[in-house]
Chains A and B, each alone.
Chain A
């Protein structure tokens, strides 16, 4: 479903040139549950941003559903982010001045298709499934980290994406809550066939995925050392 071909990303920080991602070839199939494992600074987050179309590679091709997306406009890329990809971040990234329900509905504001009513129903369903329905009118800073991350997952799911990109989703949570979040992601993959790409630096978390890829110095390596 997603195929990265010779993808590189080079940043220039003043006079220094940083090779964040170097010549990566990667194939991710539909309904996969895949872990991208790498230490901090390995380039795994950049890789995730490239897969999530938040950043374009300096060189190389990204094929999404058979379509080369490296030449799309901002509006087209935004549409794919809106419809096809859902993000879950380490720091939740909810908007604090909106309620839980409003946060879940945020992606629908940028959708050009359905009417808002059926989205609200769907949002309520998701919140119920994650056990936070009664928190729907709370503001994010009034609920726990685990609850915030569930809200973020609900937000990622509201548009029925094919892919969930989770960047250290348990990084800010205690291990018990983290495990619950991982279970949610696992279930999404199992029950609904959502492709889940989990980025982490922890072996035991990556171990819960079905396939692991190791990143070091911006390259895919055989085995994480």
Chain B
């Protein structure tokens, strides 16, 4: 009871001071507010990036093993797609498909031919990705049809000139995606009849792709008959390590260990997350500088407040306040200033996150909320303790005589 009474008085005293100095209070909290705002926003964006990447990976389907040239993913470029992401190494061909087919645990083997190209419709020309794949790829990569049908095993074997077009690309070329069905597109003087329009996946590369039977690309798009990657689909992830080992063993007969990499999604995901994690930490550290500056601002104002209230401190000491009581009073004030700034920062950051959510999956998590309370509290105490100690150490008599 007595403690409660004491704290209520401390808070009331601080609030009465804030009320009298509204502008000063807000300006002082502003430093902390900006600091918390930037830190929370950076955490939210980092989280959003992570969500986005994970979403991309999940859209490719689970239980996926990727055989990539070079030492695998290097951290640049797109996730899983796009040859820029890999360095050196070999290109695979149909011999490798045959080798891998002998591994019985594998459900699907999907060769990936991947090429950025200009894709011509009836009247328009757009940049897109030509993806040479087989029929299993639709299941493996979770590509479903909005209109029309997928191409089939027969199309693969016969190297028919058919294609499935990504939703966005169809939209760009024909306006209404359903209009794309039955039309013919041209890539590198090769013609493909559109038999299917894929459902929108929210993945820029997948939605901008033109899927064609991989053997059909052998004509002029891919005359070397090489694959950029081979994806393997398995039934369950228990056998993932076994299959990985077997695939590696099989390919080692032909290639050197450094020339290719057998990776699974989670490995890729981990290394991507690690890289973005580090970038995010650096950004947050930079954002934290404004928190420090805010702390110095609070210290400055608290020193001024101590001077301004010297007489009051003397009066309080005369009626029985201990040094500790005075210390607590000023610490409470700096703490409240700082936490007030933190709450405002969190509030504005949440509003910003809410605003950008429409196009980016940023989110405020528990960590961000904790940070916006704990860090300002620590700053309030740390930067408040020096002015508060000065106040506590004042001689009661000198303080009471101060005008």
Contact = CB atoms under 8 A, between A and B. Distances in A.
Interface of A: 49, 52, 54-55, 74-75, 78-79, 81-83, 87, 89, 93-95, 97-98, 106-107, 109-113, 115-116, 155, 159
B223 interface: no
Contacts of B20: 97
A82 B16 contact: no
Contact of A109 (B6, B17, B324): B6
Contact of B322 (A54, A78, A97, A159): A78
Contacts of B396: 54-55
Given A55-B397, A113-B2, A97 B319 contact: no
A93 B5 contact: no
B397 A155 contact: no
A107 B321 CA distance: 8
Given A49-B397, A54-B317, A81-B320, A97 B16 contact: yes
A110 B2 CA distance: 9
Nearest to B320: A82
A87 B16 contact: no
B1 interface: yes
B319 A110 contact: yes
Nearest to A87: B318
Contacts of B325: 78, 110
Interface stretch (B54-62, B169-177, B308-316, B378-386): B308-316
A109 B324 CA distance: 13
Q: Interface size class for chain B?
A: 20 to 34
21 contacts: A54-B397, A55-B395, A74-B323, A75-B322, A78-B321, A78-B323, A78-B325, A81-B317, A81-B319, A82-B319, A82-B320, A83-B320, A89-B400, A93-B400, A97-B16, A97-B17, A106-B315, A106-B316, A109-B9, A110-B322, A110-B325
A94 B315 CA distance: 8
B309 to A, nearest CB: 9
A149 to B, nearest CB: 14
B320 A111 contact: yes
A25 B216 CA distance: 116
A116 B17 CA distance: 22
In order of increasing CB-CB distance, the 10 nearest A-B pairs are A82-B320, A110-B320, A107-B319, A78-B322, A109-B9, A75-B322, A81-B320, A54-B396, A110-B321, A93-B315
A119 to B, nearest CB: 9
Nearest to A52: B318
Given A78-B325, A113-B2, 8 more contacts: A78-B323, A82-B319, A87-B318, A95-B315, A107-B319, A109-B5, A109-B321, A110-B319
Nearest to A111: B320
Interface string B1-36: 110011001000000110010000000000000000
Given A54-B396, A110-B319, A115 B324 contact: no
Contacts of B324: 75
A112 B318 contact: no
Contacts of B395: 55
B1 A115 contact: yes
A47 to B, nearest CB: 12
Contacts of B16: 97-98
A79 B6 CA distance: 15
B2 A78 contact: no
B397 A78 contact: no
Contacts of B322: 74-75, 78-79, 110
Instruction: Count chain A CB atoms within 10 A of each CB in B20, B311, B317, B322 and give the residue with the most.
Output: B322
Contact of A81 (B2, B17, B318, B400): B318
Contacts of A78: 317, 320-323, 325
Instruction: Count chain A CB atoms within 10 A of each CB in B314, B315, B400 and give the residue with the most.
Output: B315
Contact of A112 (B2, B9, B315, B397): B2
Nearest to A78: B322
Nearest to A86: B319
Contacts of B311: 93
Contacts of B319: 81-82, 87, 106-107, 110, 155
A55 B320 CA distance: 13
A130 B169 CA distance: 89
A163 to B, nearest CB: 13
A115 B8 CA distance: 13
Contacts of A113: 2
A54 B397 CA distance: 6
Contacts of B6: 109
Interface string B60-94: 00000000000000000000000000000000000
A95 B312 contact: yes
Contacts of A109: 5-6, 9, 321
Nearest to A115: B1
B229 to A, nearest CB: 73
A220 to B, nearest CB: 21
A110 B6 CA distance: 7
Contact of A93 (B1, B9, B17, B318): B318
B160 to A, nearest CB: 87
Contact of A107 (B1, B17, B320, B397): B320
A54 B320 contact: no
